[in-house]
Amino acid sequence: KIKWKIKNVGDEAERRGNVRGEILDDEGGSERFETADFSGPHFVECYVIYGNQVVARDRIDVPIHN
């Protein structure tokens, strides 16, 4: 199975009380679409889980600028 972590970090996320980083189940398409409400550093991690063990993981930084 596939799981995702979408993480907002930085001053703007903290000011808005929107620091997040929960791990979410894939909805079946092996893709995750998100919107960004503010600028600052964000990142996405993807986990591939087989037999209750993470067998692959990747991360992409998503810097959002005005």
Per-residue pLDDT, averaged over 33-48, amounts to 87
**Total residues belonging to the chain:** 66
Question: What one-character-per-residue DSSP string does 3-52 give?
Answer: EEEEEE-SHHHHHTT--B--EEE--SSS------SS-EEEEEEEEEEETT
**Whole-structure pTM value:** 0.78
For residue 66, pLDDT over 80 is answered with: no
Per-residue pLDDT, averaged over 30-36, amounts to 82
Structurally, the chain folds into a number of domains equal to: 1
The domain containing residue 53 runs over which residues?
A: 2-64
